Amino acid sequence: GFSLPAAIGAALAPGKAKGRGATAVSIAGDGGFVHTMGELVVARELDVPLVAVVFVDGALGILKHQAEEMYGEHHFVNLAPIDFAAVAKSFGVESRTVTRAAELDDAVAWAIQAGEPVLLAVVLDPDEVFPPLRTKIEQRKKDLLGQK
């Protein structure tokens, strides 16, 4: 969940004039983002040029998939449905929700050119496992079983 406050800090780093430097980009999953999403208020108040990208799969995705791969089941990893676009709007931050890959290029172009804090909620298939994670999980299983 540290991506958002870190991006705000980077945008406000010394040498930048009141958040008017290069656009900072924060990338987080929904599970991590919920811990720090209130910082969007700070970004709005300081008019920080920021793109907050939230990958929405409705779960603590990495933990969910790791548990499924290693133990065949998962517990306590699903999130309540959150409308991140509505949350951002309530903070005065413009947003878009991307539900199809074909929408992504236009949404990213809009976000980068906004020059103010914006949020992109990118909805993912909750059952899709990110390939590098699958490789790590498979290696961890082998390690635990003493296999090479």
- Taking only the tens place, the pLDDT of each residue in 54-90 is 988 876 666 666 766 767 666 666 677 889 899 999 9
The burial class, CB within 10 Å (0-12 / 13-18 / 19+), for 48 is buried
Are residues 53 and 120 in contact, defined by beta-carbon separation less than 8 angstroms? yes
- The answer to whether 40 touches 1, Cβ cutoff 8 Å, is no
Q: Could you give phi then psi for residue 141, rounded to 5 degrees?
A: -60, -45
Calpha distance 84→102 (Å, rounded): 20
Tell me the C-alpha to C-alpha distance, in Å, between residue 19 and each of 13, 51, 132, 139: 8, 13, 35, 43
* Per-residue model confidence (pLDDT) at position 116: 95
Residue 30 has pLDDT above 70, yes or no: yes
Q: Between the ranges 36-45, 54-63, 121-130, where is the mean pLDDT highest?
A: 36-45
Q: What is the Cα–Cα distance from 141 to 78, expressed in whole angstroms?
A: 23
pTM of the model: 0.77
Q: What is the mean pLDDT of the chain?
A: 83
Residue 76 CB-half CA count within 13 A = 0
How far apart are the C-alpha atoms of 78 and 53, rounded to whole Å? 20
CATH number for the domain running over 3-145: 3.40.50.970
pLDDT bracket for residue 95 (50, 70, 90): very high
What was the pLDDT predicted at 144?
78
pLDDT digits (tens, 9 = 90+) for 127-139: 666 666 667 667 7
